[in-house]
Amino acid sequence: MPGSPPAPAPLDFTRLRLIGWPYPGLPEDPAWAREFAAHGQARPARVSEQHRSGYVVADGPDAALKAESLPEWQKPRFPSHQRAAVGDWVLLEGRKIVALLPRRTSIKRGAAGEHYHQQVIAANVDTVFIVCGL
């Protein structure tokens, strides 16, 4: 129909699986499925970089793009462990993050400052190597 926005391309789960998508197709986890249902036109992407000014996300091994975070994440008092971290899966509408999908795993540390807060260093990581000098 003339004047209609183009239909979104179907999700390419093969590309998503190359960057760690945990399902053969649509998510089987009920919490993830609820987020997908709530954001019908949104597409999944994985956070590959986290910066003060925003995020870099990917929906395949060679597809990085800058993404704008949720407005509440930009508030100074918003808990840092509730913001996206490297490895998190998010839902995008255009270049805007509209949802953070629940984490399966996370690596956390105590954040700097007077009060104890958790800081997520990485999320949805299956294997970690720790290297220390002697």
Give domain status of residue 121, yes or no: no
Give domain status of residue 64, yes or no: yes
| CATH code of the domain covering residue 69 | 2.30.30.140
What pLDDT, on the 0 to 100 scale, is given for residue 75? Answer: 81
Residue 25 belongs to what domain range? 13-103
What's the CA gap between 103 and 88, in Å, rounded? 7
What's the CA gap between 4 and 127, in Å, rounded? 45
Whole-model pTM? Answer: 0.85
Least confident of 38-42, 60-64, 79-83, 130-134: 79-83
Query: Going by C-beta distance under 8 Å and a sequence separation of 6 or more, which residues neighbour residue 106?
Result: 81, 85, 120, 121, 122, 123, 124, 125
Tens digit of pLDDT for each residue in 56-75? 999 999 989 999 988 888 88
Give domain status of residue 31, yes or no: yes
Give domain status of residue 130, yes or no: no
Count how many domains the chain has. Answer: 1
What pLDDT, on the 0 to 100 scale, is given for residue 81? Answer: 79
Give domain status of residue 111, yes or no: no
Give domain status of residue 66, yes or no: yes
Give domain status of residue 84, yes or no: yes
Tens digit of pLDDT for each residue in 27-36? 999 999 999 9
